[in-house]
Chain A
Amino acid sequence: MTNDLIQLVDIALKDGPISVRAAGRLMSLMEDQPWRLPELFHAWAAVRQGREDELSEQIPMPRLFLGITGAPGSGKSTMTDALVGEYREKHPDKKVGVIAVDPSSPFTGGSVLGDRVRMMRHATDSNVFIRSLSARGHLGGLTLGVKGVARVMGLIGCDVVIIETVGVGQSEVEVTQVADLVTVVLAPGQGDSIQMLKAGLMEIADLYVINKMDREGSAQLHTQLLSSLNLSFDKKEVTDVQLVSATDKTNIDQLVDLLDKRTSEQSSDWPALREKRMYADVSESVLDQARMLLAGELRTNPDLTKQIIEGTVTVHDVAQVLLEKACDSTQEV
């Protein structure tokens, strides 16, 4: 399979198994080289040439980017699996994407990505695309490549994309930068009412799901959460709370109805929000590229660092020299 972005976008839009392969490879490129995200726009424009009536001006976007986050073992993957099943039943002709992030080893960089184990019944459904990602050392609940992978999910026509974070603690709230709606999954036995008062994770939910409702303590957790939400100073945003059992699929239909309702109520705000994020992502890619160029120059000129330490030049001087060197070498190419 090629690594050429334009060819891959072209193949990914075709029918049949080869398009799945191309989409998978596009996701790998976005994952391995996140700074190449803006090249997708270029590739789309190239592929669209002569097919203007068939392809939209911009890469298609899903109706909903749904973030799912919560503590390890709270049931995020099982709930994702249940949601995929319910979405497929409710919208049989629509495609669902899943991006599931799991942690990487701080020692070897390796990882075991096990979220798929809960979702294998969808493996042969051609309208479900599941991609497991390693955090690759990134803290915050996601991974650097997630935005590009989410773009590719849109490109291949996913109607809903579920983004499942690593099992998080109290302060990994990065999912709010990618998702339109964030679901925080809670399960009984993870803490008392004081946990509900804490800042961070407990503030980011558009809706809360209390999973494992069949377990002891779920009713108490529900009461604690509701009373904690009632204390909230700013009550403009109504936060929903849904009790479910993901394993036996109890109330998952209600959860999907709730998500569809929230989507149609709020989606008019999303184009502006998504555009803002797109600008931020592209800016970040540009800066990443610039930084890599400069880092390369600094590596090949170790004397510069030495001179700073010796006190003969300032950091500012070296930064200027690096910029000039980077300019010269890009002109040579």
Chain B
Amino acid sequence: MSDSTATGAKVRVLIGKPGLDGHDRGAKYVAHILRDAGFEVIYTGIRRTPEQIVDAAIQEDVKMIGLSLLSGAHNTLFKRVLDLLKEKGAEDIIVFGGGTIPPDDVPGLEAMGIKAVFGPGTPAKEIVDTLNSCLA
């Protein structure tokens, strides 16, 4: 559950788009379904640097960062986000990704520390369930 009624606390998630592609339909879709699942979603907009995303995530004290990427630069940019989190003492923030990511690249991303990767057409429920189990 994303709702802890004892404190009124909500799970805060930051959705960011690193890199240069400007297609944010997927990112907005995920923001929307997470909102509907009771999360508080901080959306950063398109064309952000990993530095901007990580600094924003730390100020916002989020539990998770979702990275959306369609440009093909996921191996480099996702890695950079993980490295920056570590550098800033925030490696406990869960990072997941989505977008047009070749299935062959997924094991590598997971080995790097990305907790889940959601490709095109992933059902909303699957995303929410997976994230909730990451939090458990």
Contacts and interface: CB of A to CB of B under 8 A. Distances in A.
B45 interface: yes
A104 B49 CA distance: 28
Contacts, number: 107
B38 A108 contact: yes
A118 to B, nearest CB: 8
Nearest to A137: B8
Nearest to A97: B59
Given A108-B37, A110-B34, A120 B59 contact: no
A1 interface: yes
Contacts of A124: 49, 51-52, 55
Q: Is the interface of A mostly helix, strand, loop or mixed?
A: mixed
A228 interface: no
Contacts of A114: 43
Contact of B32 (A25, A33, A112, A123): A112
Contacts of B32: 112
A72 interface: no
A76 interface: no
A17 B56 contact: no
Q: Is the interface of B mostly helix, strand, loop or mixed?
A: mixed
Given A17-B89, A32-B9, A110-B36, A24 B44 contact: no
Given A1-B92, A17-B87, A123-B56, A111 B35 contact: yes
A186 interface: no
B41 interface: yes
Given A17-B88, A20-B59, A120-B48, 12 more contacts: A21-B88, A24-B58, A31-B9, A32-B7, A108-B37, A110-B40, A111-B40, A114-B43, A117-B43, A120-B44, A124-B55, A136-B10
7 contacts: A105-B38, A110-B39, A112-B41, A113-B40, A113-B43, A117-B45, A120-B44
Interface of B: 2-3, 7-10, 12, 31-32, 34-45, 48-49, 51-53, 55-56, 58-61, 87-90, 92
